[in-house]
Amino acid sequence: MRTINRDNYEEFFIDYIEGELNAEENLALQSFLALNPDLHDELDEMCDFDFTLESADFNANKPALKDIPFQTNFDDFCIALIENDLNTYDKKSFEEFVAENPDKQVDLDLYLKTKLKADTTLIYKDKKGLKRRNKGLVIKQFIYTSLAAAASIAILFTVWTSEIEKNPGDTQYNQFSQNTPIQISTPDSIKKGITQELETEKSSEDISKTKKGKETTPNKIKGKIQNKQINKMDALPIKAAISPKQVVDKIEVKQLIAENKVVPIKNSTELNLKLITHKEITPEKTENTGLAMLGLSWKASKGDDEVKEKSTLLKIASYGVNKIGKLAGKKINLEKKYDPKTDKTRVAFNTYGIGFSTPVK
Amino acid sequence: MKLEEYNISVDQHSDGVFRFILKNIKDEDKARDIVQDSFEKLWRNVDNIIFLKVKSYLYTTAYRTMIDLIRREKRKEDFDQVDVSTYSHSQHYTDLKEILDQALERLSDIQRSVVLLRDYEGYNYQEIAEITELSESQVKVYIYRARKKMKDYIGHLESII
């Protein structure tokens, strides 16, 4: 049982009023009040308190609304209403005020129209462009892409060079590169031309010198061209139709070696020159110079195998080009183009608008 | 912020930032550039920004970039210096959206920005203050003035129509 004292008597008083004290507690309360008569009045006050809820009469506050300056600060109240800055009481009061003044309703409506709504049809379309991918994945893809691009170019170039090899007997076309020694076999017509020129020079020289020349110079001179100089040579290998005449024009002949002896041309008496190609270096050994430029080596075999290899290479090249196209967002196809002028078929693809880049911080 | 969260931010906020900027400067290409620039800056600071603050960061960055652009171009005149009647007679507006767009254009840059942030994105005064580097009370004043000007403009046009 609880004991009542001056520290907790309020609790007992409340329980007493609400009828929640048992008989013993009720007796204890009566004894406590007898001993503390000053608290008797307090209990009486608590018993008189009426908790019944009064009916809320909003109209009763009406005179107080007149104090709110709706008339003078009408605009501010309108904006505050839009911005939800009014408390519940002010909001209700203001709405009542507007309802009673129809002319104010027009102004309030105008204010309500100033509330903007987002135009959801306006969207940022290129979200994909803003998004990021895993750095490791990007680097991997970049490496694969680079490799695919390099492989494609190498393969394309190889296919191209093998196309040239298709007609090895075609002496009109020669393939040049900077790092390839060029051996030229001069045709008879050129030899004759050179002989005639030298003979002309010879006729203007002293007869005595001619006699000496006859003693020292053999009738037929075998020689090779040294210190040749190619005037125009691009960094990349070029395929060009070069006539024998053009080849001679580009070569500066400094001296001729005849039978391992240096013989000055001016001293030659019988200038039946015969320029031959160096036997050790033949055109067959300078094949696939395009691959050599790329640091690779591959030599197409002949016959059926050649066709098979070409087909495989074309497939690989096509795969590489497709990958590049996917990354660039363009459709790129390998195309075989026949050139009737040169009677050659080339494999090519269009690279307009394709570039490779990597983000740099 | 993680990579995935960054990409979610793109989905969630790129449209909003784009709309906000486009409504301010009325130039789609420049708006797109500003959005791109803002996300680029976000990506550069992705490790220092928490996901919960990303929206605020994006709007702040975009807003400041836009203000720099506007200052450079000095292309707009303040509504205060504009005689509304010079605009109202030349065009006929039948759509409230069009009228509001016109009214919005005639606000000053800062008034337009705070109203757009308030109405489009539902930012409170404090958030707008952080984005625009103003005080809360300044934001409140700008919004109140903007609303009054827009109401006057709409009312003027409606009385003519």
Looking at residue B84, what is its pLDDT?
A: 45
Q: Could A132 and B119 be called an inter-chain contact, meaning their C-beta atoms sit closer than 8 Å?
A: no
Q: A114 and B96 in contact by Cβ < 8 A?
A: no
What pLDDT is stored for residue A191 in this prediction?
57
| pLDDT given at position A336 | 72
Verify whether the Cβ–Cβ distance A118 to B22 is below 8 Å.
no
Please tell me the distance in Å from A85's CA to the nearest CA on chain B: 10
Mean pLDDT of chain A: 66
Residue A331 has pLDDT above 60, yes or no: yes
pLDDT confidence of residue B64: 92
Segment A216-242, tens digit of pLDDT: 444 444 444 444 444 444 444 444 444
Query: CB–CB of B116/B20 below 8 Å?
Result: yes
Distance of alpha carbon A324 from alpha carbon A156, whole angstroms = 14
Residue of B38, B118, B147, B150 to mutate, interface with A, max A Cβ within 10 Å:
B147
CATH number at residue B46: 1.10.1740
Residue B88's closest CA among B152, B26, B24, B22? B152
Whether B53 and B12 share a structural domain: yes
Assess contact for B161 and B99: CB atoms under 8 A.
no
Q: Which residues of chain A lie closer than 8 angstroms to B6, CB-CB? A: 131-132
At residue A159 the predicted structure's pLDDT band, cuts being 50, 70 and 90, is: confident
Distance, CA of B37 to CA of B31 (rounded, Å): 10
- B-chain CB neighbours of A83 within 8 Å are 118, 143
Tell me whether B43 touches chain A (CB under 8 Å).
yes
- Domain extent, residue B119, equals 79-160
Q: Is B154 near chain A, with CB under 8 Å?
A: yes
pLDDT at A144 over 80: no
Residues B47 and B85 in one domain: no
B134-161 per-position pLDDT tens digit: 999 999 999 999 999 999 998 887 766 5
Based on the fold, state whether residues B85 and B122 are members of the same structural domain.
yes
Q: B84 with B102, same domain?
A: yes
The CATH code of the domain that includes B137 is 1.10.10.10
pLDDT at A18 over 70: yes
Please report which residue ranges of chain B form alpha helices under DSSP H. 3-25, 28-44, 54-73, 84-88, 96-105, 109-121, 125-132, 136-160
The answer to whether residues B65 and B127 belong to one domain is: no
pLDDT at B12: 92
Of B51, B73, B95, the domain-final residue: B73
In this structure, the answer to whether residues B54 and B83 fall within a common structural domain is no
Are residues B18 and A123, on separate chains, in Cβ contact within 8 Å?
Answer: yes
Q: Does the beta carbon of B29 lie under 8 angstroms from any beta carbon of chain A?
A: no
Q: Tell me the pLDDT band of A90, cut-offs 50, 70 and 90.
A: confident
Q: Residue B124: what pLDDT?
A: 92
If asked whether residues B84 and B136 sit together in one domain, one would say yes
Q: Is B127 helix (H, G, I), strand (E, B) or coil?
A: helix
User: Smallest Cβ distance to B19: which of A118, A133, A134?
Assistant: A118
Cβ under 8 Å to B: A residues 95-124: 107, 110-111, 113-120, 122-124
* Whole-number pLDDT of residue A297: 43
Domain count, chain B: 2
Residues B64 and B84 in one domain: no
DSSP A48-86: H---PPPP--GGGGHHHHTTS-TTTTHHHHHHHHHTT-S
A337 lies within 8 A of chain B by CB: no
My answer on whether B155 and B97 are in the same domain is yes
Out of B73, B90, B118, pick the residue that ends a domain: B73
- pLDDT, residue B15, reads 94
Q: Does the pLDDT of residue B44 top 80, yes or no? A: yes
Nearest Cα residue in chain B from A116? B119
Q: Are residues B131 and B149 in the same domain?
A: yes
- In chain B, whose CA is at the least distance from the CA of A118? B120
* DSSP string computed for A267-317: G-SS-EEEE---SSS-GGGG--HHHHHTT----PPSHHHHHHHHHHHHHHH
> Domain locations in chain A?
9-48, 58-113, 182-280
B83 and B106 belong to one structural domain: yes
pTM metric for this prediction: 0.44
Minimal Cβ distance to A116: which of B120, B144, B151? B120
Domain end point (choices B15, B47, B73): B73
